Amino acid sequence: MPEQGSEKRQSQKGGERFDLVVVGAGPGGYVAAIRAAQLGLRTALVERRSTLGGTCLNIGCIPSKALLDSSEQYAKALTGLADHGVKVGDVELDLATMMKRKDRVVRQLTRGVASLTKANGVVVYAGAGRVLGAGRVAVGASGDASDHGTGGGNETVLESDYVVLAPGSNAIELPVAPFDGTKVVSSTEALSFDAVPERMIVIGGGAIGLEMASVWARLGAEVTVLERLPTLIPGWDDELAAGLRKELERQGLAVHCGVNVTECRAEGARATVRAEQSEGSALELEVDRVLVAVGRRPYTVGLGLEECGVELDDGGRISIDDDFRTAVEGVYAIGDAVRGAMLAHKAQEEGVAVAELIAGRAGHVNYDVVPSVVYTWPEVAAVGRSEAELTRDGVPFRSGTFPFSANGRALGMGDSAGFVKLLAHEDTDRLLGAHVIGPWASDLIGECAAAMELGGSAEDLARTVHAHPTLSEGVKEAALGVDGRMIHGL
């Protein structure tokens, strides 16, 4: 039975009838359902978790950012306030209270999503969705994550004109370091440790690994990061990656790039990790916790894809065309389970686009202007193309870089590490990329993304009046730097 929503409508075959059924209530799924309902489609939303919001709200973006902010407050109280003339007594960590606050933030947002779906008339079904074919979705009786809807006896069958699959993704498990849920864990367990580890290894130098490494290092753990590729945050601007590594090492994290983990043994209360370094030497560390954060893979288990004819690509992602359509008529897919970056905001935009396409509108996502952020401190953020990509493709460009050490607001905050770098086409001056490392880079990148979405040039940003003193002046100065005329930098 549905948990909430509008009056039932029976199909000719006896099942409940909808215009659209969305499977998965993460950022892509619930946004697709709400937008579809706004456009007049009678919409059902199927979710196997007991709460809406998917990985992002429950065990991903939101709880990790809550812990990042709390741990940053703790770190500042320990070492960062004296320079501001603020004296504090003995600073103590109350981890249980910090975790309760994190859970409270998650609870507030997941309840908020539930209220939004209800207010928009979306009918929510608790259970595991399974596609039976074009226009038919079976919902398992249990909303437990382990129930993949493969049983038939207690299933509810929903019929619809269209189906949108938004199943999300799971953490990748390394064969040499299988999860045991206690000593060798994914980011899910790392969000809820009941004590600060004395020593901790993070395998993977991407966004998830570095964010959780930052949390536990700030709270007192001795953290070592192991990254297989030559740099942290692989694929990002080289200067951003180098700058971030420098700042994290300054904060006490040990970083090893170009290492390959060959063994992880969990024995007793400790785990031992062995890795081979690029120069041939071996590294062996004994720690309390090992976080494996080497990426995520599409979650497609139990969806009935093979049986109904939905195809997967070589990466295990659901194959779609440019309008999100799968090989099965009327079945669409979005989010982490399809090609492209596994980002909540990318999934949300796809949710809006697919709903609008189904409703006969002109839905569209500009994948060239999807920002990415790593919420360490300093933060790093980027949108568009990097210097390496432009050079590889033979695109002529000019760049402008402005350091936060010359920004009055950053100096006043005591957070002057980092810079803003803008890349513009050499001939047209059109913005091609923006790369920021520094305080609140996650917010600053929005201005750059908006300018790029509108086809703006570096000159457009340079001519735009920015309030003083603000961090955003760094964007303006970098834009001036593209033309070699920075005022407050060299």
Angle between helices 61-75 and 207-218 (to 10 degrees): 40
Among candidate residues 148, 425, 466, 468, the one labeled active-site is 468
423 vs 462: CA distance, rounded Å: 13
* Tokens 């192991």 belong to residue: 226
The helix, strand and coil proportions of the chain, stated in percent and rounded to the nearest 5, come to 35, 25, 40
DSSP reduced 3-state for 432: strand
Phi, psi (5° rounding) for residue 51? Answer: -125, 155
326 vs 285: CA distance, rounded Å: 46
| Cα separations in angstroms, 141 against 127, 129, 130, 341 | 6, 10, 12, 32
Task: Quickly list DSSP for 237-292.
Answer: -HHHHHHHHHHHHHTT-EEEESEEEEEEEEETTEEEEEEEETTS-EEEEEESEEEE
58 vs 181: CA distance, rounded Å: 17
488 is catalytic: no
User: Is the omega angle on the peptide bond into residue 27 within 30 degrees of 0, that is, cis?
Assistant: no
User: Is the omega angle on the peptide bond into residue 439 within 30 degrees of 0, that is, cis?
Assistant: no
Phi, psi (5° rounding) for residue 237? Answer: -55, 135
Longest dimension (CA), the chain: 74
Q: 329, exposed or middle or buried, with CB in 10 Å at 0-12, 13-18, 19+?
A: exposed
Query: Of 254, 252, 259, 287, whose CA–CA distance to 273 is shortest?
Result: 287
What are the b/e assignments for 76-105, b being 16+ CB within 10 Å?
A: beeeeeeeeeeeeeeeebeeeebbeebeeb
Active site residues: 468
